[in-house]
């Protein structure tokens, strides 16, 4: 007898929610005191229970949960919870009409599908294997009402579709839903004549999506020449399963059940059906009959008792190329269907045909107008054409099994309950319950070798009142109300429910239908004592399949009434809701209890051993051994003092034929008591030097006794028992597993090697090795004994125990061909592979048991082998075959075609880990030496990853940031009603609080720097789009006007920082965005106002004097920062988009000017058309001209572009002919143009450009007034331009040696007498300036900065000692006073440019460049501060 878990009373969560629902039907109040008392007493109200279904799911924490779908009247409640506690409501639905059925379903995510989906490649193929992609499926709840269905997806989808017929029942299938049409005259058990009923129409329909129109289902029977629609109204669907795609039907005509294989139709089948139903004619004179083609189908409506609700969808039809192949779409469900449903129909014929309206005779009145609905059936038929458009089917049902008639004339009914189950050996069974004959029929089936057909066996009858499928088991309620456990059709034992709440009831209170024939109690031939005996145990070895003759119910007698029944305890009347290892018992009192079946094992070692033995043995022996262990483990009374492993070891040895009472199991007595280890007392000796007694103590130890004669290098066979001991210690050769001892030992050895690869289970190998050592000793496998002893040298082995297996017994055993003489060792195998790059032999493994062994073996194969193909995989891995079973599929590994770019073997290893779902947690439990090559592969791929890997591969190597970055450029998508994804529209305008840095702090950055908040802090510091807080306290003596001015002065000081932020903003967001070409690029605000708390009043600069155009250049930099976000690789940045970003107002702004310059720095301004350049320059906006000229020059950097040179020369007088017309060019534009010349000719050492720029550095003031202002900026720009033209050339400029550029620059830097003016404009500057008196010497305040930087850039990274000496600071105080501090700074910078290779980021290098005189003038040393000591704000 097997003990069940503690029963827990079950209450439907949906029923409780329905009682609280605001509805007229919800009259039950569970909070009422009377309700609580009646519930505790076990009373119930069946009229208020409703219906519910349960299913299992995995929770967020990977815990097992149950989901309940409860429906009653027009309310559906979806709830979820863990067993009978912690339930929560997921959704609640209230519909308009009565809910006929509610169920969970899954649809293919497509609103329009062709009639033929993935047909077979062979023309004569009857089955089409499914290749549906589960990622494109819609899962949710489907609610079926009288005339339409509603679908509510898990992701928020909602679909409501009208049905052209009433649904009797809906069934789940792999591709969607299967509908059974309601037949008006078809009452349960009644036979219906289809022709007499006036309907020869299909009964079964299918849909693949809620928005699709139902398509008829065709049937294919064995021996039939062609397929046909399911028109037999005497057939009824009783079961469907989406896992195996089978459908069971019952025929009221024959009284037999049949099983059909559900599959998609082939193209030939579709064409054959549609060709048979191509046309149909209506005879206006005889409207009660149909022509010979009356079987044709339509897309209109089917028969129904309820009127149409008028729900319809747009009509249309699309023809495909091949004949008979159509694409199904919705057609208007007009009032024709309603007219045909009315009782006034002449013939009762439904409007099942799609009739094309005549364009002449049919009125154009809308579908729901009163004029159209008033037309009678006769006028409708008269106004329709004669052609019918057939409807193509999608699903075909192929008959694969039919039951034999064994009921001997008894009246049968459809199966009350049908379910699929598997036994402990994973054999599939189809079970259906027939309460009319009190039988449960079990039919075993399996797939064919090509997995295209189902092969059914003989049905086995089991007497039963009810049954339910649980995990690998079937719980049967026998005729005597006892619970019996079956595995498939094999009886396991009786189930005992402990602590069942009961109420004392007297015998007359029982219903006569439950008691049965009362005369049987009186006429029982069994003694009365047998009726009162309570059986608490059953023989565990009574495990045999139930024969087909058990359907004979003549052996039933009154002895089924046991003591529990007579004393009035709770009687189990039904079973339901089997999920996993749990099921619900329905009691006679109406109460329900949920119980749990005990597990096969809770010890991981036992579970691995049971699975390995179950795989390696034939099915009958595997079944017997597994059920034997299950009965022993879960027997009534508990395990006692033995551990689970000890009980398993005794059970296994007993089934092998061992006499366990005389077999010494280490650490345990056979009676179940654990033998404590008694320590041997040692005799103390006074002498510190020891004595001979110490040596004798060592010789008397157990280790010496075991090691003597059986050392590690000399392992002999165990002694065979003597003649006088053989009678008491000889194995039973008739035991169930005696012949399979070698196979069992080898499978357990592979489990032992599996444990070595898990540091959390390696200690359990000590327990397993004791059993393995015993078996290896009895089988005379000395190599295995030596292997176990080497692994556990300190383990005490009973080597002196006589073997119970004799030499002649060994001849009776079956030695499998895969049993190796040398034991396979995973450690030695991996070491050999790493050393020789080839495996010594294919390492064996048990599928689905030695998963780690298989994974590690294939990972080493991927790492070592350059080519991982099928033949190479066979060299590394061997799957143990099983006699009588289909061989397991070979191990899979990624081929070279699936290896990512790069082709490294480490990439193949990563891909295999992803395919085998090998995670970091699995890597952590591996031994260190085994994991090292895998860690090396992960480290290599982490440093050199590919950008086309799946997300799981990036998670494995710890680079989730790469996966997120790959999706940064993708637009946000939304899902429409039909499931299609479209790009979400963007506003194109920045939000009010948008700072332009939202794309920086994204998910990829959080993954890459999860614990680093510096990016967020930098974003906060660079915030310039919000008003700053002005926190000042008004003193009593300060008036309001003065306080306002004080606030504005404080704001002015803060604005200095705010106006500098765009520069840092541009560096922070550099090349970080890809703009949308249909939208303008948003520019962040530069806010120079403030807010004064607590009233949050605005503070601006209106009451104090501020510099004019204070924010001009900050706005320019702000626009440049926005433009620098655009990536250089961005596509679609054309002239039209650049002009599209122009301000909407007529006046150009400084921000747009900076934006143009930034586009030039990105290289995009070269796409600007010449016309647009002309339009910009004609505006006369100085900032825009500066940004445009600098941007174009930067885009043409170093190209010496002629068009750009001409554009810049127009703004420079030095590059124009002397006779050209003088242009009024602003000074700032001239500065920008001369810098642009340096950019265009950067690094070219162009002679003419270099000569002109050299002269412009020392250009005199001249007589014109415009040349007298801002001369310093022009000279500095000319020096920078000259440095860019000769950048890094130094003394290599052979063609410019006659210009003496170095000497001229040195002259401009240190001063001296002016040299004669050179160039075409020398005549213009003969006259001195009337505003500036410079004399005959060079004005070094104007020329020195440009000349110094020009020298540094020209001799960049050359290390020229002469020029370095010019740049060195003076060593004396006297000479140091003649150099301005700013000039000294520029010389030091230029010196660093020249000696670029010698610059070192150390303090000694900085001190070496300081003049010696500075040490004498330095201040006393203070406490040295580091950068960490400086506070940051």
Q: What is the mean pLDDT of residues 586-594?
A: 87
Indicate the range of 136-150, 218-232, 434-448, 738-752 predicted with least confidence.
218-232
- CA Rg value for the chain: 46
Indicate the range of 594-598, 1048-1052, 1393-1397 predicted with least confidence.
594-598
Q: Show the beta-strand stretches assigned E in 827-897.
A: 843-845, 877-879
Question: What pLDDT is attached to residue 955?
Answer: 84
Q: Which residue has the higher pLDDT, 757 or 198?
A: 757
Is pLDDT of 1422 > 80?
no
Count CA atoms within 13 Å of residue 1237 on its CB side.
33
pLDDT bin (cut points 50, 70, 90) of residue 59 is low
Indicate the range of 385-399, 906-920, 1216-1230 predicted with least confidence.
385-399
CA-CA distances (angstroms) from residue 1067 to 990, 1002, 1073, 1164, 1184?
A: 20, 17, 13, 18, 22
Measured CA angle at 1168 (ends 1162, 1174), to 5 deg: 130
Percent of the chain with pLDDT over 70: 69
Indicate the range of 63-67, 780-784, 956-960, 971-975 predicted with least confidence.
971-975
- Write the DSSP symbol of residue 553: G
Q: For 778, left (φ over 0), alpha (ψ -120 to 50), or beta? A: alpha
**Residue 417 φ/ψ, nearest 5 degrees:** -155, 135
Residues composing the chain: 1433
| Distance from C-alpha of 380 to C-alpha of 362, rounded to nearest angstrom | 9
Q: Is 184 helix (H, G, I), strand (E, B) or coil?
A: coil
**Residue 584 φ/ψ, nearest 5 degrees:** -115, 135
Q: What is the dihedral of CA 1111, 1117, 1119, 1120, to 10 degrees?
A: 170
Is pLDDT of 608 > 70?
yes
Is pLDDT of 1368 > 80?
yes
The sign one gets for the Cα dihedral 1279, 1285, 1291, 1297 is: negative
Longest dimension (CA), the chain: 148
Q: Show the beta-strand stretches assigned E in 872-925.
A: 877-879
Q: Show the beta-strand stretches assigned E in 369-487.
A: 384-388, 395-402, 417-422, 428-434, 439-447, 454-463, 466-470, 473-477, 483-487
Per-residue pLDDT reduced to its tens digit, 969-1003: 444 444 333 344 444 444 444 444 467 787 777 66
Whether the full predicted model's pTM is greater than 0.85, yes or no, is no
Burial of 998 (0-12, 13-18, 19+ CB in 10 A): middle
Q: Which residue has the higher pLDDT, 1101 or 506?
A: 1101
Per-residue pLDDT reduced to its tens digit, 290-336: 333 333 343 333 333 333 333 333 333 333 333 333 333 333 333 33
The kind and range of the H/E element at 71 are strand 64-72
Is pLDDT of 458 > 50?
yes
Q: Which residue has the higher pLDDT, 136 or 1289?
A: 1289
Per-residue pLDDT reduced to its tens digit, 1063-1075: 999 999 999 888 9
Q: What is the DSSP string of 1132-1155?
A: ---HHHHHHTS-SSSS--HHHHHH
| Distance from C-alpha of 816 to C-alpha of 807, rounded to nearest angstrom | 18
Per-residue pLDDT reduced to its tens digit, 989-1043: 444 446 778 777 766 667 667 777 888 889 899 999 999 999 999 999 999 999 9
Q: How many helices (H) and strands (E) does the chain have?
A: 47, 42
Q: What is the DSSP string of 966-997?
A: TTTTSPPEEE-TTS-EEEPP--SS--TT--S-
Q: Do the strands 417-422 and 428-434 form a parallel or antiparallel pair, or are they unpaired? A: antiparallel
Question: What pLDDT is attached to residue 1124?
Answer: 95
- Write the DSSP symbol of residue 1082: P
Q: Which residue has the higher pLDDT, 363 or 107?
A: 107
Q: What is the mean pLDDT of residues 862-878?
A: 75
Question: What pLDDT is attached to residue 1327?
Answer: 65
Is residue 1077 within 8 Å of residue 1135, measured between CB atoms?
no
Question: What pLDDT is attached to residue 679?
Answer: 42
Per-residue pLDDT reduced to its tens digit, 1315-1325: 877 666 666 66
Q: What is the mean pLDDT of residues 154-162?
A: 86
Count CA atoms within 13 Å of residue 563 on its CB side.
8
Q: Which residues contact 72 (CB under 8 A, 6 or more apart)?
A: 14, 15, 18, 25, 49, 50, 51, 99
Is pLDDT of 801 > 90?
no
Strand partners, 229: 218
Is pLDDT of 516 > 50?
no
| Distance from C-alpha of 841 to C-alpha of 820, rounded to nearest angstrom | 11
For 396, the token pair is 């075909």
CA-CA distances (angstroms) from residue 39 to 9, 71, 504?
A: 11, 21, 16
CA-CA distances (angstroms) from residue 525 to 463, 950, 1106?
A: 22, 74, 120
Is pLDDT of 597 > 80?
yes
Give the Cβ contact number of residue 590 at 10 Å. Answer: 13
Q: Which residue has the higher pLDDT, 969 or 1228?
A: 1228
pLDDT bin (cut points 50, 70, 90) of residue 1149 is very high
pLDDT bin (cut points 50, 70, 90) of residue 1206 is very high
Chain centroid to CA 853: how far? 26
Chain centroid to CA 248: how far? 35
Question: What pLDDT is attached to residue 943?
Answer: 85
Is pLDDT of 514 > 60?
no
Q: Which residues contact 1081 (CB under 8 A, 6 or more apart)?
A: 1075, 1122, 1123, 1125, 1126, 1141, 1155
Is pLDDT of 856 > 80?
yes
Q: Which residues contact 483 (CB under 8 A, 6 or more apart)?
A: 4, 475, 476, 477, 494, 495, 497, 572, 585
Give the Cβ contact number of residue 245 at 10 Å. Answer: 20
| Distance from C-alpha of 1074 to C-alpha of 926, rounded to nearest angstrom | 45
Nearest to 1077 by CA among 1026, 1133, 999: 1133
Burial of 1240 (0-12, 13-18, 19+ CB in 10 A): buried
Q: What is the mean pLDDT of residues 349-365?
A: 36
For 538, the token pair is 């059953």
| Distance from C-alpha of 522 to C-alpha of 594, rounded to nearest angstrom | 35
Per-residue pLDDT reduced to its tens digit, 570-584: 688 899 988 888 899
- Write the DSSP symbol of residue 348: -
Summary mean pLDDT of the chain = 75
- Write the DSSP symbol of residue 506: -
Nearest to 910 by CA among 939, 940, 938: 938
Q: Which residue has the higher pLDDT, 26 or 1200?
A: 1200
For 1002, the token pair is 């994204």
| Distance from C-alpha of 521 to C-alpha of 848, rounded to nearest angstrom | 52
Question: What pLDDT is attached to residue 430?
Answer: 92
pLDDT bin (cut points 50, 70, 90) of residue 1421 is low
Question: What pLDDT is attached to residue 324?
Answer: 35
Is pLDDT of 868 > 50?
yes
Specify which of 19-23, 127-131, 1333-1337 reaches the highest per-range mean pLDDT: 1333-1337
Give the Cβ contact number of residue 1421 at 10 Å. Answer: 6
| Distance from C-alpha of 1287 to C-alpha of 1244, rounded to nearest angstrom | 8
Q: What is the mean pLDDT of residues 1375-1379?
A: 85
For 755, the token pair is 């444990």
Across 476-491, b (16+ Cβ under 10 Å) vs e yields bbbebbbbbbbbbbbb
Indicate the range of 164-173, 534-543, 586-595, 751-760 predicted with least confidence.
534-543
Is residue 1078 within 8 Å of residue 1134, measured between CB atoms?
no
């Amino acid at each position: 007898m097997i003990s069940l878990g503690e029963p827990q009373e079950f209450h439907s969560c949906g029923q409780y929610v329905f009682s609280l629902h605001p509805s007229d039907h919800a009259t039950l109040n569970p909070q009422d005191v009377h309700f609580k008392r009646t519930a505790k007493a076990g009373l119930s109200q069946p009229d208020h229970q409703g219906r519910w279904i349960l299913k299992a799911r995995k929770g967020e924490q990977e815990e097992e949960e149950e989901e309940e779908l409860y429906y009653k009247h027009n309310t559906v409640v979806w709830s979820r919870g863990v067993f009978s506690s912690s339930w929560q409501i997921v959704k609640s639905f209230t519909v308009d009409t009565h809910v006929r059925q509610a169920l969970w379903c899954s649809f293919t995510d497509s609103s329009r599908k062709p009639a033929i989906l993935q047909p077979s490649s062979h023309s004569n193929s009857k089955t089409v294997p499914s290749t549906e992609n589960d990622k494109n499926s819609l899962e949710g709840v489907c609610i079926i009402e009288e005339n339409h269905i509603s679908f509510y997806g898990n992701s928020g989808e909602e679909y409501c579709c009208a049905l052209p017929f009433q649904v009797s029942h809906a069934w789940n299938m792999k591709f969607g839903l299967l509908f059974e049409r309601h037949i008006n005259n078809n009452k349960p058990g009644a036979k219906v004549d289809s022709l007499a009923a006036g309907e020869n129409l299909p009964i079964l329909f299918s849909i693949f999506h809620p928005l699709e129109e139902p398509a008829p289902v065709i049937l294919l029977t064995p021996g039939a020449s062609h397929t046909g629609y399911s028109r037999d109204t005497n057939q009824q669907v009783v079961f469907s399963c989406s896992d195996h795609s089978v459908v069971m039907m019952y025929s009221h005509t024959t009284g037999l059940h049949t099983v059909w294989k559900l599959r998609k139709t082939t193209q030939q089948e579709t064409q054959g059906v549609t060709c048979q139903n191509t046309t149909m004619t209506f005879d206006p004179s005889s409207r009660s009959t149909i022509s010979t083609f009356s079987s044709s189908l339509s897309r209109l409506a089917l028969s129904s008792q309820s009127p149409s609700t008028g729900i319809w969808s747009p009509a249309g039809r699309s023809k495909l190329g091949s004949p008979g192949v159509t694409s199904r779409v919705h057609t208007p469900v007009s009032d024709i269907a309603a007219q045909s449903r009315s009782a006034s129909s002449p013939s009762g014929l439904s409007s099942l045909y799609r009739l094309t309206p005549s364009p002449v005779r049919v009125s154009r009145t809308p579908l729901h107008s009163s004029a159209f609905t008033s037309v009678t059936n006769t006028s409708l038929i008269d106004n329709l054409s004669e052609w019918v458009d057939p409807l193509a089917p999608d699903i075909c049902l192929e008959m694969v099994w039919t039951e034999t008639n064994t009921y001997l004339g008894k009246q049968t009914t459809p199966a009350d309950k049908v379910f699929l189950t598997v036994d402990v050996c994973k054999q599939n069974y189809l079970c259906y319950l027939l309460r009319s004959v009190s039988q449960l029929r079990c039919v075993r089936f399996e797939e064919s070798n090509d997995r295209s057909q189902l092969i059914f066996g003989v049905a086995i009858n089991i007497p039963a009142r009810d049954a339910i499928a649980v995990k690998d088991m079937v719980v049967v309620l026998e005729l005597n109300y006892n619970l019996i456990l079956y595995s498939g059709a094999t009886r396991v034992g009786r189930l005992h429910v402990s602590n069942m709440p009961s109420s004392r009831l007297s015998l007359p209170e029982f219903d006569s239908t439950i008691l049965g024939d009362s005369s049987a109690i009186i006429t029982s031939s069994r003694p009365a004592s047998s009726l009162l005996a309570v059986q608490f145990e059953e023989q565990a070895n009574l495990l045999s399949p139930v024969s087909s003759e058990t359907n004979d119910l003549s052996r039933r007698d009154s002895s089924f009434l046991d003591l529990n029944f007579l004393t009035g305890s709770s009687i189990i009347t039904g079973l339901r809701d089997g999920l996993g290892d749990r099921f619900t018992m329905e009691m006679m009192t109406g109460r329900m209890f949920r119980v749990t079946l005990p597990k096969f094992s809770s010890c991981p070692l036992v579970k691995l051993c049971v699975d390995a033995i179950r795989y390696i043995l034939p099915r009958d022996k595997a079944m017997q051994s597994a059920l034997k262990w299950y009965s022993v483990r879960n027997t009534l009374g508990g395990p006692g003092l033995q551990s689970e492993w000890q009980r398993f070891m005794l059970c296994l040895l007993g089934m092998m034929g061992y006499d366990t009472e005389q077999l010494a199991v280490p650490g345990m007595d056979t009676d179940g008591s654990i033998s404590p280890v008694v320590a041997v007392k040692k005799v103390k000796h006074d002498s510190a030097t020891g004595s001979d007694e110490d040596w004798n103590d060592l010789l008397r130890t157990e280790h010496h006794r075991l090691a003597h004669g059986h050392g590690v290098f000399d392992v002999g066979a165990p002694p065979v028992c003597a003649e006088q001991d053989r009678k008491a210690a000889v194995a039973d050769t008739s035991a169930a597993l005696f012949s399979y001892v070698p196979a069992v030992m080898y499978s357990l050895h592979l489990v032992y090697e599996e444990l070595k690869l898990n540091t959390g289970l390696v200690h359990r190998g000590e327990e397993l090795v004791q059993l393995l050592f015993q078996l290896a000793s009895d089988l005379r496998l000395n190599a295995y004994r030596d292997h176990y002893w080497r692994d556990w040298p300190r383990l005490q082995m009973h080597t002196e125990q006589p073997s119970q297996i004799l030499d002649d017994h060994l001849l009776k055993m079956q030695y499998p061909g895969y049993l190796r003489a040398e034991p396979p060792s995973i450690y030695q195998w991996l070491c050999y592979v790493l050393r020789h790059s080839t495996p010594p032999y294919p390492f064996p493994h048990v599928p689905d048991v030695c998963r780690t062994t298989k994974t590690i073996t294939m990972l080493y194969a991927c790492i070592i082998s350059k080519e991982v193909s099928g033949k190479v995989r066979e060299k590394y891995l061997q799957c143990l075959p099983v006699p009588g079973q289909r061989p397991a599929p070979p191990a899979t590994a990624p081929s070279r075609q699936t290896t990512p770019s790069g082709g490294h073997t480490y990439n193949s290893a990563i891909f295999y880990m992803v395919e085998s779902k090998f995670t970091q947690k699995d890597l952590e439990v591996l031994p260190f030496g085994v994991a090292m090559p895998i860690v090396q592969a992960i480290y290599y791929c982490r440093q050199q990853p590919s950008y086309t890997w799946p997300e799981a591969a990036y998670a494995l190597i710890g680079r989730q940031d790469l996966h997120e970055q790959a999706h940064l450029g993708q637009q946000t998508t939304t899902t429409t009603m039909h499931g299609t994804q479209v790009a979400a529209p963007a506003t194109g305008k920045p939000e009010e609080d948008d700072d332009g840095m939202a794309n920086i702090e994204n998910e990829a950055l959080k993954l890459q720097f999860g614990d680093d908040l510096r990016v967020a802090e930098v974003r906060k510091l660079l915030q310039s789009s919000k008003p700053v807080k002005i926190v000042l306290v008004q003193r009593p003596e300060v008036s309001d006007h003065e306080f306002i001015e004080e606030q504005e002065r404080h704001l002015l000081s803060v604005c200095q920082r705010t106006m500098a932020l765009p520069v840092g903003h541009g560096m922070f967001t550099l090349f970080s965005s890809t703009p949308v070409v249909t939208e303008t690029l948003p520019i962040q605000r530069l806010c120079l106002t403030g807010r004064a708390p607590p009233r949050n009043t605005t503070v601006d600069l209106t009451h104090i004097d501020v510099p004019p155009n204070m924010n001009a250049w900050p706005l320019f930099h702000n626009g440049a920062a926005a433009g620098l976000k655009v990536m250089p690789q961005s596509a679609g940045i054309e002239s039209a988009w650049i002009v599209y970003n122009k301000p909407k107002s007529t006046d150009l702004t400084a921000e747009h000017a900076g934006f143009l310059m930034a586009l030039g720095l990105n290289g995009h301004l070269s796409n600007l058309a010449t016309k647009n350049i002309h339009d910009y320059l004609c505006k006369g906006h100085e900032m825009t001209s500066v940004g445009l000229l600098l941007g174009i020059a930067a885009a043409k950097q170093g190209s010496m572009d002629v068009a750009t040179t001409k554009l810049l020369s127009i703004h420079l007088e030095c590059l124009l002919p002397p006779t050209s017309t003088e242009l009024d060019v602003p000074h700032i534009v001239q500065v920008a143009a001369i810098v642009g010349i340096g950019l265009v000719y950067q690094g070219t050492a162009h002679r003419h450009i270099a000569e002109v720029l050299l002269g412009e550095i020392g250009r005199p003031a001249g007589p014109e007034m415009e040349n007298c202002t801002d001369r310093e900026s022009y000279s500095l720009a000319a020096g920078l331009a000259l440095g860019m033209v000769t950048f890094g050339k130094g003394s290599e400029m052979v063609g410019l040696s006659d210009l003496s550029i170095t000497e001229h620059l040195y002259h401009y830097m240190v001063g001296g007498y002016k040299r004669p003016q050179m160039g075409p404009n020398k005549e213009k500057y003969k006259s001195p300036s009337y505003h500036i008196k410079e004399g005959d010497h060079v004005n070094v305040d104007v020329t020195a900065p440009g000349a110094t930087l020009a020298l540094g850039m020209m001799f960049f990274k050359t290390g020229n000692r002469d020029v370095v000496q010019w740049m060195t600071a003076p060593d004396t105080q006297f000479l140091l006073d003649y150099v301005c501090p700013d000039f000294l700074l520029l010389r030091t910078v230029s010196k660093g440019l020249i000696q670029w290779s010698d610059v070192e980021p150390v303090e000694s290098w900085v001190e070496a460049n300081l003049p010696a005189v500075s040490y004498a003038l330095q201040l006393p040393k203070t406490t040295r501060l580091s950068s960490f000591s400086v506070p940051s704000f």
